[in-house]
Amino acid sequence: MSQVLLDSSILIPALRAGGGKVEKQQVTALLASGRAALTESILFELWRGAKPGLEQDGVRQLARDLPVLQTTPAVWEKCFDLARRCRSKGFLIPMGDLLVAACAWEYRVVVEQGDTHFEQIQSVLTEAKILFP
C-alpha cells in the first residue's frame, strides 16, 4: 500500500469551512485509507495560511497524525533537477510545488493535488509517475 502525498492544493479547500466538496471527499478517503502523508513544505504552506481556530486545529491534527516525508539532500538534488528541466521547457514552477514533486520522486509516491503545475512537472519527468494515485 503506497503512500500518497496530500498537496496543499487539495488540503486547503478541504480544511476550509465551505471549502470544496470534492477536495473534502478526496482527503477524507485518503485519511481513512491510512495512505496519506505530508512533506515539510506542505506543512509550512498549511501553517502559513491557516486561520486561527478550526483551520489551525485541522493543521495541528494532520501534523500529529500523518507521516512527514523529510526534505533530504537527495530531495533537494531532485528539486534542482526538476527546476532545470521545467525551465528548459519554459515552465516557471513555484518552489513549493517543485519540492513536493521532488519528495514524491525520491520516496516513490504519488501526489493527490489540484494544481496544473504538477502536470507540467510530470511532463518533464519520465523516470517516475508522481501524479494520479
Q: Does the pLDDT of residue 127 top 80, yes or no?
A: no
Q: Does the pLDDT of residue 64 top 70, yes or no?
A: yes
**Cα distance between residue 101 and residue 107, in whole Å:** 10
Q: What is the mean pLDDT of the chain?
A: 90
How many structural domains is the chain composed of?
A: 2
What would the pLDDT profile of 29-42 be if each residue is shown by its tens digit? 999 999 999 999 99
Q: Dig out the grid coordinates for 84 from the structure.
A: 532545470
Local confidence band at 6 (pLDDT 50, 70, 90 cut-offs)? very high
Local confidence band at 15 (pLDDT 50, 70, 90 cut-offs)? confident
Hey, is 18 helix, strand or coil?
coil
What would the pLDDT profile of 77-108 be if each residue is shown by its tens digit? 999 999 999 999 999 999 999 999 999 999 99
pLDDT at 47: 93
In degrees and rounded to multiples of 5, residue 104 shows phi and psi of -60, -45
Tell me if 129 is assigned to some domain: no
Whether residues 52 and 93 fall in one domain: no
**Cα distance between residue 45 and residue 29, in whole Å:** 22
Tell me if 83 is assigned to some domain: yes
Model pTM?
0.89
Tell me if 132 is assigned to some domain: no
Tell me if 131 is assigned to some domain: no
Range of the domain at 119: 73-124
Tell me if 27 is assigned to some domain: yes
Which residues are paired to 55 by β-bridges? none
pLDDT at 16: 83
Stated as kind and residue range, the H or E segment containing 106 is: helix 95-107
Whether residues 45 and 98 fall in one domain: no
Whether residues 84 and 47 fall in one domain: no
